[in-house]
Amino acid sequence: MSTIVSISNANKSRESQETRQKIVAAVIQLITDGGLEAASPQRISKLAGVSLGAVQNFGNRTQLLDAVFLYGHEKYLSLVDHEELLQGTLHERVQLYVTMSWQHYQSDLYLAVLEILLATRSSRDASTYLQLAPELGEHHRAQVRKIFPECSLDDRNLMEVMRSTHLFLTGLAIDKLLEPDLPNLGGYLRRVVASMKGMIQDQDS
């Protein structure tokens, strides 16, 4: 009997996770297509193919948007948790790290996160995501140290490397929205690589 119950609970857990993923994916798609206001519970329910009750059980608006933030962070960390990033010269690893990061920064997921940030910037104090931000940042920092073991910068300076790269790529992503055929994109990305590599090698900071 206990085995049957365990299997039943596992199936319910899997179904619950699948429902959650469908809801988050629907929120991202609706925001991408029509902005934050388009992500109403009714539209989420219809696009996700789940009941309105399932959407409402997910939580309130802040919890729903936090789920998109957390999903975005998880996707990014899984993207840079790649065996190839642990191989090659420093230049090759930095170049691949920037290339993989750029893929994420151009995605509908990241652009949806930016849309949420802009639309809710005055009401994020109660956000679970913000409460978890230090822990999430530590996970990212640990991954960067794993990729670049020769980097001896302290946490503050390593965070500066990560933030500088983030700011540059975010700016490029926004520019590319405004100008899809952004000229000299490759040149800008090469500058990001050169800047990040130089900061990692700056052991006197």
Express each pLDDT in 137-157 by its tens digit.
788 899 999 999 999 999 999
Q: What pTM, to 2 d.p., does this model score? A: 0.81
60-201 CATH choice from 3.30.70, 1.10.357, 3.30.160, 3.30.110? 1.10.357
The full set of domain ranges for the chain reads: 1-58, 60-201
Express each pLDDT in 152-197 by its tens digit.
999 999 999 999 999 999 999 999 989 999 899 999 999 999 999 9
Answer for the pair 192, 140: CB distance below 8 angstroms, yes or no: no
Q: Looking at the predicted structure, is the pLDDT value of residue 98 above 60?
A: yes
Residue type at position 119: A
Q: Looking at the predicted structure, is the pLDDT value of residue 124 above 60?
A: no
Compute the average pLDDT of residues 79-89: 92
Q: Whole-angstrom Cα distance, residue 86 to residue 163? A: 21
Q: Whole-angstrom Cα distance, residue 184 to residue 104? A: 19
Answer for the pair 169, 200: CB distance below 8 angstroms, yes or no: no
Conformation bin of residue 51: beta by default, left when phi > 0, alpha when psi is -120 to 50 = beta
| Long-range contacts of residues 88-92, Cβ cutoff 8 Å, at least 24 apart | 90/148, 90/150, 90/197, 90/200, 90/201, 91/193, 91/197
Q: Whole-angstrom Cα distance, residue 47 to residue 32? A: 13
